[in-house]
Structure 1
Amino acid sequence: MQLKIMNLKSTIKPVLAGVCILLSGMGYAQEVVVTDSTAIQPDAEVKKVEKAAQGAQRKKVDGIAAVVGNYIILDSDIDLMYKDMQSQGISTQEVTDCNLAGSLMENKLYAHHAIQDSIIIPDAQINGVVDQQIKGLTQQAGSIEKVLDFYNKETEQELRDEIFKLTKQRQLSQQMQQKIIADIEVTPEEVRQYYVKMDEKPMFGTEVELAQIVIEPEIPQAEVKKIVDRLNEFKADIEENGASFSTKAVLYSQDPGTASDGGRITLTRKDPFVKEFKDVAFSLQEGEISEPFKTEFGYHIIQVDKIRGQTVELRHLLLIPDVTNASVEAAKKEIEELRKKIVNNEIEFAAAAREASDEEETRAEGGKLINPRTGDTRFELTKIDPQLYKQVEALDEGEVSLILTQQDRTGRPQFKIIKVTKKIEEHEANYATDYLKIKELALRDKQLKAIEKWQKEKIKDTYIKVNGKYRDCDYASGWVKN
C-alpha cells in the first residue's frame, strides 16, 4: 500500500493511530527548486530544468523520477529514502519504490502549492531547526565527519544547505496541509452519524485515570549560593580577563546537549525553550553576558554572540545545584508519612496533593494527570509511557502505589506515589462513555477526506511528469497523466 494515507495522517493529531511514517528526516529527498515557474510548464522548459538538475548533482544519478510543480524528484532520492528509513530502524520489507515515489510526490505537491498560496517561513526559523538537527546528528554519530560520510557530503556547509532545503520543504508541506484542515470541525450530529455508520465498532483498551504526588528533596540555600558565586566568577573572568566563554562551557557546563560545542545555541522566539531563558536571551546586546539566573534546569549565564533579526546566536553555561543526603532522606520520610495517612484514610489523596506535592502542573488539580496525547484524563494502558505502565498496570481502582523513585530533568532524585482514581476495562466503543474519542475519530476522518479532495483537485491543475518505471506504478492518486 502506498505511503500516501500514512503521510496524510501524520499531519493530524492521532487518537488511536499507531506509528505513522512522516517523511521529514534529512536525506529523504534532494530537491532542485525552479524559480519563476508556472503551475503548468511546457515540455521544453521542463527538459531544461531536468538537465540543470542532473548537472547540479555531485555524484552520478540514474535520472529524473518525476517533476511536480517547481520540484524535481531524482532516482537517487528513492534510494536515499530507503537508506535513511533503514538507518532509523524502520522496516522497509513491504515498502516499494512506488510507495516512496508516491509519498515524495505528495510532499512536493503540498510544498509547491504552499508557495503559490504565499505561505512564508522565515529563513531564521529554518536556520534554528538546522542547527538543532546537525547537533543531534553529530551527537548520535559521534563526530561531524561521520555524519558527512553517511550523507556523502564534503563539508558541513554543504550538509547545512541540504538540510535547510529539506527542512523548508517539509515545513511548507506541513503548513499547507494544516491550512487545508484548519477550519474543519464536526458537529454532534456528524459524530453520531459517524458512529452509527461504523461497520465495526473499534475496541478501546483498558484505560486508567491517574493522580500523583511528587516530593522533591530541598536544595540547601548554601548550595544555591555556591553555584551563583561560581557563575559570577566565570562572568568576571570573561569580562575582566578576556577568558573564553566557549572554553568555560566545555569545561564546566552541565548541559550535555551543548557543553561539547561551547554552549552554542541558535534561538528564535518560537523555539520551545523555557520562558525565563528566552526572556534573558532576548534582553541582551551582542557581546553582553547575563547575570546568573534560574530555570527549572538549574542556574545559567548567557553570552550573546550575534543578533540576526529575530534570531539570537548565543552561548550558555549551566550549573545544577546538588541536593544533600540529609535533604534526600527528609523528602523520603515526608512521602512515607503522607502515603501512610492516605492509606489509613486520614487524608484524601487530592487534598494531600494540593497541600504537599512539589509538582506545580498537577498540584492545583489534586495531582490529576492529563494525557498529553489526547488532552483528556484517560490513559490507555498499552499506549502510555513504558515506565509509567510498569508503575500502574497492576494497581486496582482506588489503589495507591508504593513509593516510587525517579529523576527530574537535572538528574536529581524525586519521590512519588500514584493513585488509580478510575479504571475502565477493555471494551467496545460506546457512544455515551467514549464520545470524545469517537469525536476525534470523526474529525480525523473528515480532515482526511478534505485533504484527499484537495489533492485530487491540485493534481489536475499542477504540472506533473512521471518518468520511467514510475509510470507503471499503481498509485492511489492520479499522478500519471496521459
Structure 2
Amino acid sequence: MRFTNKLMLLVAIGFSTLAVAQVTPQNEVAENKPVQKQRQKIDGVVATLGDYIILDSDIDKAYLEMSSQNIPTKDISRCQMLGKLLEEKLYAHQAVQDSIVVSDEEVRERMGRQIDYMVEQLKSMDAVVKYFKKNNEDEFRTDLFDIIKTNMLTDQMQRKIIDEVEITPEEVRTFFKKIPKDELPEFGAEVEVSQIVIKPKVTEEEKQKVIDKLKQFKKDIQDGTSTFFSKAVLYSEDPGSKSNGGFYKMTRKTPFVKEFKDVAFSLGEGEISDPFETEFGYHIILVEKIRGNEIDLRHILITPKITDESLQEARDRAVNIRTKIINKEISFADAARSESDEKETRANGGALINPKTQDTRFELTKMDPALYGQVTGLAENEVSMPMIEQDQTGKRFYKLLTVTQRHEVHTADYAKDYTRIKELALKEKQIKRIGDWSEEKIKETYVKINGEYRDCEYTNNWLKK
C-alpha cells in the first residue's frame, strides 16, 4: 500500500479553513515543536509572497483553524505549515494576476454561513471570538473576511489549473500496470443501494391555509402595519435567510429553482409577488433593488403541514409496494420507476449515486452514517420496512431500501474497479499538473523568507536555491 498511501497523501493539495465541521478544543497548537530552537514569541513578518505577507501569528492561526475542523495538527511542523500558507498565497496571488474576481458580497455571504455555524457550535459569538483568540468581534470578522477571500481565490485558481486535465483509458491502464503487485490498493467492502420514496400528499385545505397566510402578510406590509423584514424573521421557514429578513442577492445564474427565479425577475423594484409554489413550499418575494442582471430581494417561505392522516396513507402505500415486491408481483426497479416520488432516482430504478465518485458503489466505511445504519443489516435484495425521514425543508416521507449488490473487501481489479482506478490516475495527473504549475510560478514570483524559517526544508523551492 506504500504507492497508494503516498498518492492519497499528495491528494491533499490544500488545507481548507475555518469551521465547516465540528469545533473542537484548542489544545493542539501548543504541542507543535519550534522550527529548530526555542523561539521567542515576537510577531513579525516571516515571509512575503507578491503583495501578501505572512506573520508568525498567521502560523498559529492556521493551527487553530485546522483544529476547528478536527484536522490533526500534532505532527505538522511550523515549517510545513508555513509551506502550506505560502502555497495558498501563491494561488491567490496568481488568481489576481489572471483577473480571477471574488466579490466582497460573495465573501460576506460565505462568511455569514460560517459564522452562523460556529455560533451554533459554540453557543455564542463571544465564545467564537474567544476561541480564535481575538480581542473583539470586529477584529474576528476582519480577519475571517481576509482568510475567506484568500481561500476563495485559492480554490478558483486550483480549479482553473486542473479543470482541463483529462485522462485517457490508455493512461489509466499505464497507471495501473506501474503499481507493484504487492502495493495494489485494497478497496473496502462496498454496497449498491436502491430506494423508493413515498411522499405524503398535502391536502388542499393545508395549501390554502398557507396561501391565505402569505396573502395577509403581503397586505400587512403594503398597509404599513408591518415590514417584510420582520415577517421573514418571525415566520419564514427558510433557514438560510430567516435570520437576515429573507434577504438574497441573485442573478439568473444563481442556483435557485426555476419557479423562484421566474417570479423574482418578473417583479419591479418595491413590488411584492402573490404567493407561488416551488418544491420547498409557498413563497412571497419583495424585490428591493435591481442592478442590471442582479437583484436584491427578500422572501418568505412557508411549507404546508402534513397531516397525520396523509402520513399514514403514505406508510400504507409503502407497505403495499413492499408486499408486491416480496411476492414477486413486481421488481424493486420497476416499482421505483412506476411508484417512487423521487424524480432523481426514479428513472434508473431507484439506484442511488455516490456523490463522491458518481457511480453506484458506496464504500461502507465512508458512506453517510445514517444510510450505513439503514443498509448494514440488509441482505442482498432484501427490502427494508418503510422508514420515515425528512428532507432539508423538514418535509417527512417514507422510503424503502434494498441492497442490490454487495462487494466484499478486495485487492484492486482493473476490470471490476475501473472507475476507482481511473479516479486515482486522474488525481495523480492533477497533482503533477499542480506541481509543474507551482514550480513555474515560484520562479517568476517574488518570494522572501526571513529568519530561522530559511533553515526549513520545503517541498517547493521557496528559497529558490
Normalised TM-score (structure 2): 0.86
Q: 1:427 deviation in Å?
A: 0.9
1:406-443 Cα offsets, whole Å, 9 max, x none, are 11223232111111112211111111111111111111
| 86-95 or 378-387, larger mean C-alpha shift | 86-95
Q: Does the alignment pair 1:111 with 2:92?
A: yes
Q: Does the alignment pair 1:361 with 2:363?
A: no
- The 1-side partners of 2:247 and 2:124 are apart by 16
1:202-233 Cα offsets, whole Å, 9 max, x none, are 01111121211111111101100110110010
1:305 pairs, out of 273, 288, 297, with: 288
3-state SS of 1:383 partner: coil
Gap change, CA 1:272 and 1:354, over 3 Å in 2: same
User: Is the CA contact 1:465–1:481 (under 8 Å) kept in the aligned structure 2?
Assistant: no
Q: Letter of the aligned partner of 2:277 in structure 1?
A: K
Instruction: Report the equivalent of 1:279.
Output: 262
Q: 1:242 deviation in Å?
A: 4.3
Gap change, CA 1:375 and 1:116, over 3 Å in 2: same
1:180 pairs, out of 150, 153, 161, with: 161
Instruction: Report the equivalent of 1:405.
Output: 388
Instruction: Report the equivalent of 1:24.
Output: 17
User: Is the CA contact 2:45–2:54 (under 8 Å) kept in the aligned structure 1?
Assistant: yes
Q: 1:345 deviation in Å?
A: 0.4
1:299-328 Cα offsets, whole Å, 9 max, x none, are 111223334555433322221111111111
2:47 pairs, out of 66, 77, 82, with: 66
Q: Does the alignment pair 1:386 with 2:369?
A: yes
User: Is the CA contact 1:128–1:266 (under 8 Å) kept in the aligned structure 2?
Assistant: no
Q: Letter of the aligned partner of 1:376 in structure 2?
A: D
Q: 1:201 deviation in Å?
A: 0.8
Q: Does the alignment pair 1:315 with 2:298?
A: yes
Gap change, CA 1:305 and 1:276, over 3 Å in 2: same
Gap change, CA 1:270 and 1:153, over 3 Å in 2: farther
User: Is the CA contact 2:194–2:401 (under 8 Å) kept in the aligned structure 1?
Assistant: yes
Q: How does 1:35-114 map to 2 (within 5 A)?
A: 62-114=43-95
- The 2-side partners of 1:434 and 1:307 are apart by 51
Q: Does the alignment pair 1:457 with 2:459?
A: no
Q: Does the alignment pair 1:291 with 2:291?
A: no
| 259-268 or 462-471, larger mean C-alpha shift | 259-268
RMSD: 2.6
User: Is the CA contact 1:124–1:311 (under 8 Å) kept in the aligned structure 2?
Assistant: no
User: Is the CA contact 2:18–2:68 (under 8 Å) kept in the aligned structure 1?
Assistant: no
User: Is the CA contact 2:249–2:294 (under 8 Å) kept in the aligned structure 1?
Assistant: yes
- The 1-side partners of 2:281 and 2:239 are apart by 13
Gap change, CA 1:422 and 1:332, over 3 Å in 2: same
Q: Is there any run of 5+ residues in structure 1 with no aligned partner, and where?
A: 12-20, 28-59
Q: 1:159 deviation in Å?
A: 5.0
2:244 pairs, out of 237, 261, 272, with: 261
Q: Does the alignment pair 1:214 with 2:214?
A: no
Q: Letter of the aligned partner of 2:16 in structure 1?
A: L
Q: How does 1:119-268 map to 2 (within 5 A)?
A: 119-148=100-129, 150-151=131-132, 152=134, 154=136, 156=138, 160-199=141-180, 200-268=183-251
Q: Letter of the aligned partner of 1:92 in structure 2?
A: T
- The 2-side partners of 1:407 and 1:120 are apart by 38
User: Is the CA contact 1:131–1:266 (under 8 Å) kept in the aligned structure 2?
Assistant: no
Q: Letter of the aligned partner of 2:456 in structure 1?
A: C
3-state SS of 1:396 partner: coil
Gap change, CA 1:219 and 1:275, over 3 Å in 2: same
- The 2-side partners of 1:441 and 1:460 are apart by 29
3-state SS of 1:382 partner: coil
1:311-366 Cα offsets, whole Å, 9 max, x none, are 43332222111111111111111111110110010111111111111111111221
Q: 1:262 deviation in Å?
A: 2.5
Instruction: Report the equivalent of 1:333.
Output: 316
1:24-63 Cα offsets, whole Å, 9 max, x none, are 3389xxxxxxxxxxxxxxxxxxxxxxxxxxxxxxxx9610
- The 1-side partners of 2:267 and 2:56 are apart by 48
Instruction: Report the equivalent of 1:38.
Output: none
Q: 1:127 deviation in Å?
A: 4.0
- The 2-side partners of 1:433 and 1:336 are apart by 35
Gap change, CA 1:453 and 1:424, over 3 Å in 2: same
Q: Letter of the aligned partner of 2:361 in structure 1?
A: R
Q: Does the alignment pair 1:476 with 2:459?
A: yes
- The 1-side partners of 2:255 and 2:229 are apart by 23
3-state SS of 1:62 partner: coil
Q: Is there any run of 5+ residues in structure 2 with no aligned partner, and where?
A: 1-5, 21-40
Instruction: Report the equivalent of 1:415.
Output: 398
1:364-414 Cα offsets, whole Å, 9 max, x none, are 221111111111111111111111111111222222122212112232321
1:236-274 Cα offsets, whole Å, 9 max, x none, are 110123411122122222233433333233445554433
- The 2-side partners of 1:182 and 1:87 are apart by 30
User: Is the CA contact 1:98–1:475 (under 8 Å) kept in the aligned structure 2?
Assistant: yes
- The 2-side partners of 1:327 and 1:68 are apart by 62
Gap change, CA 1:117 and 1:254, over 3 Å in 2: closer
What's the % identity of the aligned pairs?
Answer: 51
Instruction: Report the equivalent of 2:31.
Output: none
- The 1-side partners of 2:153 and 2:441 are apart by 16
3-state SS of 2:75 partner: coil
3-state SS of 2:221 partner: helix
1:9 pairs, out of 8, 11, 14, with: 11
Normalised TM-score (structure 1): 0.83
- The 2-side partners of 1:139 and 1:287 are apart by 34
Q: Letter of the aligned partner of 2:18 in structure 1?
A: G
- The 2-side partners of 1:162 and 1:280 are apart by 38
